[in-house]
Amino acid sequence: MKAIPKPRPGGIVRFGKRKAKRDDRNLMFAALLKAPPALPAEYDFDVAHHGIPTPMFGNDEYGDCVIAGRAHQTLRFEKAEQNKLIAIGEHDVLREYFSESGGVDSGLVVLDSLKEWRSKGWLAAKRRYKIKAFAQIDQAKRSEVKRAVFMDIGVGLGFTLPDAALTQFYAGKPWAVVSGKAGQPNPRNGHYVYVPGYTKSGPVCVTWGRKQQMSWAFLAKYCDEAYAIIDAIDTAKKKRALDAGKLDAFLAGLRKAKLANAKKSATRAGGRHG
């Protein structure tokens, strides 16, 4: 990529999550869970860690919501790890977004982007950050979402938002289910958010420069993909709640399969040139 393209004119917010990709080989979050912890009625990482900003990261001009969500999560990961706020800039987000999109403002497939994050990492605040793994959450199970949030693992949610969600956002109201055409999922409104908290009403995400409350019913109706994103199992919460052995075995299987596929490809290429 030679340069970041100029933004599209007009608008206050942008969408950028492409159609959800399914993969039956995904690690399921439920498979990693040990005995369930006692969950508080409400929890927010940002309440326990004051002063975490919620930048727009260019998502008012570009369809970079997938990487903007990654940046919001990286800020919190490193606040927990380093006990400081790292200086992630909009340029960091846009550079990674256009690297993964091939230089066009086309949005990203969440699953493909998570695989990039796990395998290659991304450059933010002059340092490369990788995750250990990601696991698919069953978004229909409220307890799974709450457990991932409470363990400070990080939850990324993909939505096909209704038009009503924009009206509610501009009015400063929570996302809630409404009837009629404005309440139907709009395929043009693919969006990705990071979730650091939940209340009795539902998840609280970071999007478009601020925190946004949604109802549990809203999550159930409009969320079409959900992932727990694990940087490391290195805190007391994570060690108590996650089966590190199962995770390591799954990752070892991925590496073994990748090596086997590489050998097959090499054999086929050698046969063609022989």
CATH of the domain at 180: 3.90.70.10
Q: Output the pLDDT for position 235.
A: 83
Asked if residue 52 lies in contact with residue 85, where contact means CB atoms within 8 angstroms, the answer is yes
Domain that holds residue 82: 42-252
155 is a domain residue: yes
Q: Is residue 261 part of a domain?
A: no
Question: What residues form DSSP beta bridges with 104?
Answer: none
Is 62 contained in some domain?
A: yes
Q: Both tokens of residue 109?
A: 């497939």
Q: Is residue 72 part of a domain?
A: yes
Low-confidence ranges of the chain (pLDDT < 70): 1-2, 8-11, 262, 265-266, 269-274
129 part of a folded domain: yes
Q: Judge residue 158's burial from the number of C-beta atoms within 10 Å of its C-beta, 0-12 exposed, 13-18 middle, 19 or more buried.
A: buried
Domain count, the chain: 1
Instruction: Look at residue 246 and tell me if it is in a domain.
Output: yes
Is 175 among the domain residues? yes
Tell the residue number behind the tokens 């066009």, with chain if given. 104
- For residue 91, being part of any structural domain is answered with yes
CB 17 within 8 A of CB 108: yes
pLDDT tens digits, one per residue of 226-245? 999 998 888 888 888 899 99
Q: Specify the pLDDT at position 186.
A: 97
Determine whether 242 is exposed, middle or buried from the number of CB atoms within 10 Å of its CB (0-12, 13-18, 19+).
buried
Cα 209 to Cα 12, 107, 138: the distances in Å are 11, 18, 27
